[in-house]
Amino acid sequence: MEEIRTMARDILSLLWVVTGLLVAVGFAANFVGQQVLTLTGNPLGLSRLWVRVVAMIFGFLLVIFAPLLSDWVIQTLVAMGL
């Protein structure tokens, strides 16, 4: 049973990391373009730039805390008896 929990934790960790990386890469796309729009005085560019910065930070934090999140999910499922 312990092997199944370990395997499930590893799979969940991998999924969290992949999700975080996809979020970070997806929002980092066109980051330089948004900076150019900001430099030219486009207010919409600044707004989009901040949204991308926050999304990249969220993606980074998701990747960093992936093992903790996976352990928490596994422990919760075990406590529920699943």
Residue 34's closest CA among 63, 59, 58, 56? Answer: 56
The three-state secondary structure class of 55 is helix
8 A C-beta contact, residue 62 and residue 16: yes
Cβ atoms of 9 and 72 closer than 8 Å: no
SS3 28: helix
Q: Which two tokens stand for residue 56?
A: 């990249």
User: What pLDDT does residue 38 have?
Assistant: 78
Which token pair is 22? 């996809």
pLDDT of residue 44: 82
Task: Print pLDDT tens along the chain (82 aa).
Answer: 778 878 887 888 788 778 777 777 777 777 777 778 778 888 887 787 788 788 778 878 877 887 888 788 888 888 888 7
Q: Looking at residue 58, what is its pLDDT?
A: 82
